[in-house]
Amino acid sequence: MFKRGVRRLTAAVLALALLLTGCTPAVEVDAAVELPEGQKLIALTFDDGPRRSTTTRLLDGLAERGVQATFFLIGAQVEHNEDVVRRMDEEGHQIGIHTFDHVTLTGLNQADFGAQVGKSREALKAVLGHNDFLLRPPYGILDESVKRWAGCPIILWSIDPEDWRDQNTRRVAAEVVAEARDGGIILMHDIFPESVDAALEIVDALHAQGYLFCTVDQLFAARGIPLEAGESYWNAYP
């Protein structure tokens, strides 16, 4: 179920690898691409969207740079933003669940958990026609019940600049670049204009350092780490 992102280790990643060497791909490649041994990889992830104004501008900037990211979406915000969600999917980004109303999942009974996670899953499935979504619990808070009921891998993070705190583009970008590490997962939020600016600055800076950006599925596949339903993952450090 969760191999869809692996199959997408394709055009955008290859284009970026060629861009770093000053080349331009002549054709789009549909088959999975084996990354060069020793390549530095990092996953850029975004929570709390979609928000049409900021998410669309972020997608534009990522497309210009040949970058694929992972978006953990609020189910309630999918309605009226279906075209934005479809665009994410069509452009090779990975999509995950961040609950329906951005609530803490611990302490919920199974019915309420289903109203937050299952309802979001159904909303996304109705728009995209597939059902291979990862889960990121709000605030990263989880317990054994969350793991038992998740029905998919649970993705946390290794780099958190707390971009919501002061919405300071320069600080956020500098902090992420300083903490970047091969196999890391960056947490940001695509609902703030300053975070969009910071994210694109981060991409440019880490490209210059030889990093390739990939989705969460691609990152773990490249490291040979299977993602299992109900298990939580912070990073894919080598």
Mean pLDDT on 221-228: 97
User: Quick one: pLDDT at residue 26?
Assistant: 27
In angstroms, the CA 186 to CA 170 distance is 16
Per residue in 161-213, pLDDT (tens digit) is 999 999 999 999 999 999 999 999 999 999 999 999 999 999 999 999 999 99
Higher pLDDT, 14 or 133: 133
| Predicted TM-score (pTM) of this structure | 0.87
The secondary structure of 183-222 as a DSSP string is: TEEEEEETTSHHHHHHHHHHHHHHHHTTEEEE-HHHHHHH
User: Quick one: pLDDT at residue 35?
Assistant: 60
**DSSP bridge pairs for 40:** 211
* Confidence check: pLDDT of 147 > 90: yes
The continuous run of DSSP H or E covering 164 comes out as: helix 163-166
User: Quick one: pLDDT at residue 38?
Assistant: 80
* Confidence check: pLDDT of 36 > 90: no
From the candidates 48, 89, 98, 189, which is the catalytic residue?
189
207 as an active site residue: the answer is no
End-to-end CA distance of the chain: 24
Could you give all domains of the chain from N- to C-terminal order, each with its CATH number?
4-233 (3.20.20.370)
47 as an active site residue: the answer is yes
3 state DSSP class of 48: strand
User: Quick one: pLDDT at residue 172?
Assistant: 98
From the candidates 47, 163, 182, 217, which is the catalytic residue?
47
